[in-house]
A and B are shown apart, each in its own frame.
Chain A
Amino acid sequence: MKTLKELGLLKGGRIGEVAGRGPLAQRLLAMGFLPGTRLRVVQIAPFGDPVTVELDGWRVSLRLQEADALRIIPDADAPANGNGNGKAHG
């Protein structure tokens, strides 16, 4: 599993785990960052932090510190995975 930072721009995957036991983890779960949910990194801010992800049809930006709670199972290593998610902007 990878963090969002390791995942890289325009790469997608499924949430494997929401790590941590604090209010942050609870908030992420409440916002729909559930294990198994597909997400994709769509933007990285000019100074490398925060990053914006797309999930369930909406977008949200997180600081890398917060994003570290998300452990992602990257999409199969195949370069583009067919359903349009791995390719460049829509």
Chain B
Amino acid sequence: MIAVADPVQTGRTIVAVIGNPNTGKSSLFSALTGIRQHVGNYPGITVERKEGRCRMGERDVTLVDLPGTYSLAALSADEQIVLDVLSGRQGSMPAPAAVVCVVDASNLRRNLFLLSQVVEIGLPVVIALNMVDEAQQRGIKIDVAALSSKLGVPVVPTVAVKGKGLDELRRAVAGVLEAPTKPRSVAWPAPVVEARAVVDEAARKQGRTLNDADLSRLVFDVEPGIAAFPGLVEARDRAHQGLRSAGHDPLSVEALVRYGHLDELLAGTVVREEGPADRRPYAIDRVFTHRVGGLLVFSLFMFFVFASVYWIARPAMDGIEWSFGRLAAWAGATLEGHAMLQSLIVDGAIAGVGGVMVFLPQILILFLFVAVLEDSGYMARAAFLMDKVFSWTGLNGKSFVPMLSSFACAVPAILTTRTIEDPKARLSTILVSPLMSCSARLPVYVLMIGAFIEPRFGPVWAGAALFAMHLLGLVVAIPIAFVINRFLLKLKPLPFILEMPPYRLPSPRGVARRMFLSGREFVVRAGTVIFAISIIVWALSYFPHRAEVGDAAAKSLPASVSEGERGRAVRSAYLEQSVLGRFGKVVQPVFAPAGFDWKTTVAVLAAFPAREVVVSTLGILYSADETQEGALRAEMTRATWPDGTRVYTPAMAMAVMVFFAFCLQCGSTMSVMAREASWKWAGFAFVYMTSLAWVAAVITFQAGRALAV
């Protein structure tokens, strides 16, 4: 792992990369930094912060990839970050020394609107005229030299995904860093100049100097994002009055003047051949967004993604588990005689590392699809198709892919929420994603349904129960998202304005890079936490490990029992006497209303860091012979309360499944949540899901008992 040193401390030159969404901005950033990049969040909010190192001429610079935006007038927190960083107000980062503005060559007019706002900050700017090949194919001719001289900004044609124009871009940035250029600003009509002067003067009187971009935001924005200027409200009102009396609408004057200026500037610089060729990149939309065909194709794609993550990852995961199993067996044999060290290495360390690595296949496969779906432009179509399902909750269609992916595993799914720009919508998607029934819950369902539902109600009901368990999470998640958005995050219903980019062929290099980076990040960041949790749980289920406990268990059995059975009894006794086992007995009354005995309670507690361990823990506690198929089922069926009634009734088995369906028993998910949001939010998710799980399990058990099943 290469650590990107804190730029605040190193005084490194910062170059910000900005641009509209869908301009290939992130591809350009990746092409310039390679794998020397680092992804995190801005302090306190779920807005992605991407930084990387690269050489610009003689200099080492830190490149910062800012969230895509159409305007410096911010609608949401991710857009607010852009102006804050550019103006040097983002406390965690010094002001940039230059700006690379990435523009889509096919959409110059709209893209240069943002540029005309950005130049007002006063920083040197270089334009990366990206995807020039696509513009050419679409019959758009751009006179680069004329554009550059009219804007007063170096313009470098690039094709980021093919790595074209990058050296020229580096040279141009190095050039403006050496000899900063002053780009040309919009010439405002007199009434606007006056209005700006009114606000500027009021600010000066308060001892503040505003840059031109801040001034624009204060004068033009309906809700100025730079809210820290309370004393200027009166001056702003006066400025607006002046504008109105001169016949300008303060709401529209900025757009009208800037676009007017751009139209003049682009006349003769950009020649567009009008014609049917222009719609070619959208042609597949006739099927992909068709009201019947579109949903069909969408369902097919999503099924394919889900099936791949669920099943194709399986052999790789099995392989990883097998390898770690072999490693554990070898380590166990090597360390024979050092009981504690052996257990620490085998059950703690190796199991911990294995528990991290086992997620890698799913993460890589999911990110393969996410990269392809995003880079091809299909993700926007998916959001368009699914929007109606989510809009009432305050979310939009972009939450669909993370939620679907959660059915395989919430860990990679939470990483994919980065495709959601709005930080609050992203946060609430993160909070509800673990409710989807992931593949680690399946062993519990299979065990319970196989043992207590199928024998009594038959295979049809068994299948129905399995399906119902998977549906449960989704049915509950969407209303919960509504409640979280409405009452907790107080999510302002954001306008859904989503660009449908032309379809593009994803570059294999870009896709591979994204897979690699997300895999590396997971292993390094989440992996360390997961590993630590594994060691802690090992300790809780190992200590105090007094030898007399094992001896007593071994001696209590008649001499005739087999070596294996004796070993199982000893392990079971140690676990019962461990901190975890004792704690389980103490806590059991809490789970009594759901019908759990102390063994089930201990297994549930042991499963909090990773739910899949429940089956093996139950196996140890019930001293089931793991080499014999169905041994655990038989032991569980035989288990009775002191009064002779069965512990495991269908109602209790259902209660266990419902508990697992809702409970956040996954240290990996928690650590990824903490990383993408914060530990506070991970804690919140833990509390709400566990409470929900307990209540639902109690209701299930009590209702089942009332119905006498």
The answer to whether A binds B is yes
Tell me whether B500 and A61 are in contact (CB under 8 A).
yes
**Is B109 interfacial (CB-CB < 8 Å)?**
yes
Q: Which of B187-195, B252-260, B399-407, B522-530 contacts A (4 or more CB under 8 A)?
A: B252-260
Q: For residues 552 through 578 of chain B, which have their beta carbon under 8 Å from a beta carbon of chain A?
A: none
Tell me whether A23 and B113 are in contact (CB under 8 A).
no
**Is B450 interfacial (CB-CB < 8 Å)?**
no
Q: How far is the CB of B111 from chain A (nearest CB, A)?
A: 10
**Is B464 interfacial (CB-CB < 8 Å)?**
no
Question: In the complex, which residues of chain A have a beta carbon less than 8 angstroms from the beta carbon of B75?
Answer: 23, 27
Closest to A52 in B: B500
**Is A79 interfacial (CB-CB < 8 Å)?**
no
Question: In the complex, which residues of chain B have a beta carbon less than 8 angstroms from the beta carbon of A61?
Answer: 380, 384, 387, 496-498, 500
Question: In the complex, which residues of chain B have a beta carbon less than 8 angstroms from the beta carbon of A27?
Answer: 70-71, 73, 75, 495, 497
Report how far A34 CA is from B280 CA in the complex, Å.
Answer: 26
Contact among A32, A42, A45 for B291, CB-based, below 8 A: A45
Question: In the complex, which residues of chain A have a beta carbon less than 8 angstroms from the beta carbon of B684?
Answer: none
**Is B59 interfacial (CB-CB < 8 Å)?**
no
Closest to A31 in B: B70
Closest to A50 in B: B387
Q: How far is the CB of B438 from chain A (nearest CB, A)?
A: 28
A59-B385 contact in complex given A45-B289, A66-B495, C-beta closer than 8 Å: no
How many B residues, CB 8 Å from partner?
Answer: 48
**Is B279 interfacial (CB-CB < 8 Å)?**
yes
Closest to A27 in B: B75
**Is B204 interfacial (CB-CB < 8 Å)?**
no
Report how far A89 CA is from B272 CA in the complex, Å.
Answer: 20
Tell me whether B384 and A45 are in contact (CB under 8 A).
yes
Report how far A89 CA is from B282 CA in the complex, Å.
Answer: 10
A56-B109 contact in complex given A23-B75, A90-B279, C-beta closer than 8 Å: yes
Question: In the complex, which residues of chain B have a beta carbon less than 8 angstroms from the beta carbon of A58?
Answer: 106-107, 110, 499
Tell me whether A43 and B222 are in contact (CB under 8 A).
no
Q: How far is the CB of B342 from chain A (nearest CB, A)?
A: 59
Report how far A87 CA is from B388 CA in the complex, Å.
Answer: 28
Question: In the complex, which residues of chain B have a beta carbon less than 8 angstroms from the beta carbon of A32?
Answer: 109-110, 113, 255, 259
Binary per-residue interface labels of chain B (61-77) against chain A in the complex, 1 for a CB within 8 Å, 0 otherwise: 00000000011010100
Tell me whether A26 and B276 are in contact (CB under 8 A).
no
Binding site for A on B (CB under 8 A): 70-71, 73, 75, 106-107, 109-110, 113, 138, 220-223, 251-252, 254-256, 259, 272, 276, 278-280, 282-283, 285-286, 289, 291-292, 294-295, 380, 384-385, 387-389, 391, 495-501
